Structure 1
Amino acid sequence: MIKRMHKLLSCFLAVILLTGCWDVTNIEDRGFIMGIAIDLAEEGKTNGNYHLTMTNQFAVPPGLSAPGGGSGGGGKAFVNLSASGESIYAIGQEMANKINKLPFFEHLKVVIVSEEVAAIPQLFANVMDVFIRNRDARRGIKVIIAKEKAKDILNIQPENEKLPARYINQILENSIIKTGELRPVRVGEVHEHLLAKSSFVLPEVTSGDSELNFVGGSVYKGDSNMLIGSLKPSEMLGLHLITGEKLGGTIEFNFKDHLTTYSIREATSRVKVNAKDPENIDIAVTINMEGEIQETFGTFILKEPGVITALEKEISAKVKKIADEMIKKGQKELEADIFGFADNLKKFHYHTWEKIKKDWDHGENYFAKSNVSVTVDAQVRSDGVVDQSKHK
């Protein structure tokens, strides 16, 4: 009896331990989508609906291995497939019939949308809705705007990376550490902005033969659900300083008629709002910066008394000018709160916000009427690796 029980128990354990997953898919059968580009199709608009072209970049694993590494290494590491239709989901279904592998989105790095698509009211939001709802798509996927055909960005042939989508993703990640200019915006952030109907800025790029070129930012207006303008790289600098998102980069200015470069080590901003009178809202922005002098073309000695103080004054004045010009463009030209001042109102002046939220940066546009002042305190913590810059 005991032996029979042991045999039955052994068989039962064997059945449990040797059973595989019912929904398992072999890795060889997966089509790894690394990047997606969305363009307006040649058909344009028919029957009231826009035709879109979606280009998926599929990774080819054998091509990703190093040349000479065996298993067919050294071949092309990706293939771009395009399909057109009136909805992204329907296009995806058509795309699935063009490839002998099951589309797999969990490794998707970047979604590129053409400026042409994003400039059409509501179309960008409709496109992004698919990635927001897709259970396999991560909220950390980066979103950028292409000044040209978005699919051209996926055709970049970088010299040191076989997979264009991975190269673009690395450029965006490295920018945070090195310069802070190309701050990535992720699907999760886009979702939050679309729900709140708030305005925001997306990185704007073009393609070279072998590189990605950053040309500024695309301004998306929350109430109109479309792109309304662009920011130059210098204006993006001002935006990031005001919002406290500037994590690196340099400031160039003239000191004693000579070009001098200030490297930003740390920059923070603080916003204080006085909203007692909705018709006369005061917004005070304080920018604090720390950094070091990296380069000078003059003949002054940095260690001389008063030189560092004078440099800090010049840097503060230059940054204030950049920030003031950005504020002016946001209020007068764009009429869009891309600085996040609305968040401060919601948090600290909720009752006032409830009264004006429907007319903040549209309608009556209380944002454009607000008095925004900028104060800058730039400090030079290091003057470089030598005691003096240049000395005749």
Structure 2
Amino acid sequence: MTSWRKRATVLLFLLHAVLLSACWDRVEIDQRGFVAGVAIDKEPQREETSQKQGKAPEIVGTYQMLVPSGLRSGGKEGGSPGAAFFNMSVTERSIMALSARMAAKTSRTPYFEHLQVILLSNEAVKDGRLDFADILDFFLRNNEMRRDINVLIADGDAKRLLSVKSMNESYPAAYIDSAINNYKKTCYMRPESRIGYVHEQILKNVSFTIQKISAYEDGISLTGAALFDSHHRFVAFLSGSETGGLNFLKGDVKGGVVETSMDDDIIDFDIERATRNIKARREGDNFKFTVEIEAEGTIGKSIRKLDVAKLSSIRKMEDLFAKEIVQLSEKTIRTLQKKYKKDAIGLGMHLYQNKLMSWEELSENWEDGRQLFADATIEVKAEVNIRRLGNINQSERR
């Protein structure tokens, strides 16, 4: 009997422990300060003081806080009565300190589980005293953060992008987050740069690119990309055409349009799918790479009097589109090899995965030291297949 009572007492204590600890950290939803977007800029006014004192530069963190009542009513411009959001800025020397300062200024505790975008100004990430990995450390380490938060590099001030007109969305962070997915409709912007992906690139010590964002008229533009080297230092921005070539070279094209000229007129190729294959052959201390690109799609625009139903016309257009893809890719290769000497294409990773012994011999001199990447031979071949002609054969009679 005594043994039974002891067991019952232990079970009762265990049951109480489970029931009483279930909501120990509960915070009512109306007491949370939902953060939808964060912008990080360098504080320019105190730069000279920081340099003299040998301290890290001060950074400005701008937090976009959501107002649930404003979201229900459709929302207005930030800061106005009935607005769906408001922006609040604080200045400190670290991201963790920014969050602590932020908590002291707002009536609701900042809550990051619904954070959608992190915008970092190019001035902040290119400052040698602000390590890129250190900036992201807080967002990677905090248990409220998700691995699918989008990271973008802003050309200019990042905080002003959290105040752009949000078009079809209730607040700017949602507008930016929605626009990021449009990479499937254009070749000239990089695929989404989620913080989990960026973290993987930093750990691999490889050169990589992140989506670029800039203010454009009343909205934003995501054309181009931010280039980082294998030491995760910001190098430069790639143009839209260079980003398009990079997408083809990396096999990241999900859609978009290739435009070229034919008989003094413009023709368009609407890409539906594209693939790329890399072949590598060692020649002494150097490698020769052949990048084979295949693209399929439909005619988006043709010459008015051209009969696209003719096989000869189709073959001619396929050759012209393939030539345009090769030229676009070769322009990117020249920029990466000769100007920046950074392997954002991923050729070094291809060697690591497929020719490990050779890679281990050359890896230390791939981008650094002898910079073998800059001397590598890279040949691009492209093949285009027009699968559909659209709904018509001709725009007008010949």
TM-score (normalised: structure 1) = 0.91
CA distance in 2, matches of 1:126, 1:17: 38
Map of 2:65 onto structure 1: 58
> Which is worse superposed, 347-356 or 106-115?
347-356
Give the Cα separation in 2 of the matches to 1:321 and 1:14. 70
Aligned-partner SS, 1:154: helix
Structure 2 CA distance for partners of 1:16 and 1:93, relative to 1, 3 Å: closer
Q: Does 1:312 find its partner at 2:354?
A: no
Alignment of 1:176 with 2:178, yes or no, is: no
Query: Against the structure 1 CA distance between its residues 209 and 97, is the aligned structure 2 distance closer, same or farther, given a 3 Å change threshold?
Result: farther
Unaligned 5+ runs, structure 1 = none
The answer to whether the aligner puts 1:76 opposite 2:83 as a matched pair is yes
Corresponding position of 2:140: 132
Would you say 1:167 and 2:170 are equivalent positions? no
The normalised TM-score by structure 2 is: 0.89
Cα distance per residue 1:321-359 (max 9 Å; x no partner)? 111111111100110000011111111111111111111
- Aligned to 2:184, what secondary structure does the other structure show? helix
Instruction: Look up the match of 2:34.
Output: 32
- In 1, Cα distance between equivalents of 2:206 and 2:19: 53
Q: Within the alignment, does 1:300 sit opposite 2:303 as a pair?
A: no
Distance in structure 1 (CA, Å) of the matches to 2:327 and 2:110? 49
Distance in 1, matches of 2:140 and 2:267, equals 45
Q: Deviations over 1:81-117 (max 9, x none)?
A: 1111111101111111111112111111110000101
Contact 1:244 1:269 in 2 (8 A): yes
Per-residue deviation, 1:130:
1.6
Change (3 A) 1:208 1:315: closer
Deviation at 1:15, TM superposition (A): 7.0
Deviation at 1:276, TM superposition (A): 5.6
The match for 1:113 is 120
Match of 1:95 in 2: 102
Q: Are residues 1:378 and 2:384 paired? A: yes
Return the alpha-carbon distance in structure 2 between the equivalents of residues 27 and 17 of structure 1: 23
How much does 1:202 deviate? 1.5
Q: Give 1:26's aligned amino acid.
A: E
CA distance in 2, matches of 1:196, 1:14: 46
Contact 1:112 1:146 in 2 (8 A): yes
- Checking the alignment, whether the CA contact within 8 Å between 2:70 and 2:84 is kept in structure 1 is yes
1:151 aligns to what? 159
Contact 1:301-1:390 at 8 Å conserved across structures: no
Comparing 14-23 with 226-235, greater Cα deviation is found at 14-23
Contact 2:188 2:223 survives alignment (8 Å): no
**Residue 24 and residue 168 in structure 1: after superposition, are their counterparts in 2 closer, same or farther (change >3 A)?**
same
CA 29–258 in structure 1, closer or farther in 2 if over 3 Å, else same: same
CA contact (8 A) 1:117 1:123 kept: no
In structure 1, distance between residues paired with 2:178 and 2:368: 37
Contact 1:66 1:74 in 2 (8 A): no
SS of residue matched to 1:185: coil
Moved more, 381-390 or 312-321: 381-390
The 1:209–1:58 alpha-carbon spacing in structure 2 relative to 1, beyond 3 Å, is farther
Distance (whole Å) between structure 1 residues aligned to residue 235 and residue 13 of structure 2: 66
Equivalent position amino acid for 1:43 in 2: R
Counterpart for residue 342 of structure 2: 336
Deviation of residue 371 (structure 1)?
Answer: 0.6
| Partner SS for 1:306 | helix
Choose the corresponding residue for 1:230, options 230, 234, 237: 237
Cα distance, 1:95–1:262 mapped onto 2, change above 3 Å: same
Shift of 1:167: 0.8
1:301–1:391 Cα contact (<8 Å) kept = no
Change (3 A) 1:75 1:209: farther
User: Residues 289 and 378 of structure 1 are in contact (CA less than 8 Å); yes or no, is this contact kept in structure 2?
Assistant: yes
SS of 1:308 mapped into structure 2: helix
Structure 2 counterpart of 1:196, from 204, 208, 211:
204
**Identical positions, percent:** 30
Q: CA RMSD in A?
A: 2.4
Name the SS of the counterpart of 2:169 in structure 1. coil
Aligned mates of 1:12, 1:275 — CA distance in 2: 69
For residues 13 and 118 of structure 1, do their structure 2 counterparts lie closer, same or farther at Cα, with a shift above 3 Å needed? closer
SS at match of 1:195: helix
List alignment gaps of at least 5 residues for structure 2.
Answer: none
Per-residue CA shift, 1:242-297, capped at 9, x if unaligned? 100010110111112210011001011011111363x2201110000001111124
Q: What is the CA–CA distance in structure 1 between the aligned matches of 2:61 and 2:111, rounded to whole Å?
A: 15
Structure 1 stretches of 4+ moved >6 Å: 11-18
Shift of 1:216: 1.3
Q: 1:67 to 1:304 in 2, by over 3 A?
A: closer
Partner of 2:248: 241
Change (3 A) 1:210 1:160: farther
The aligned amino acid for 1:307 is S
Aligned to 2:262: 255
Please point out which of 22, 42, 46 is paired with 1:43: 46
SS in 1 for 2:296: strand
Distance of aligned partners of 1:209 and 1:66 in 2 relative to their CA distance in 1, 3 Å threshold: farther
Distance, in Å, in 1 between the alignment partners of 2:40 and 2:221 is 19
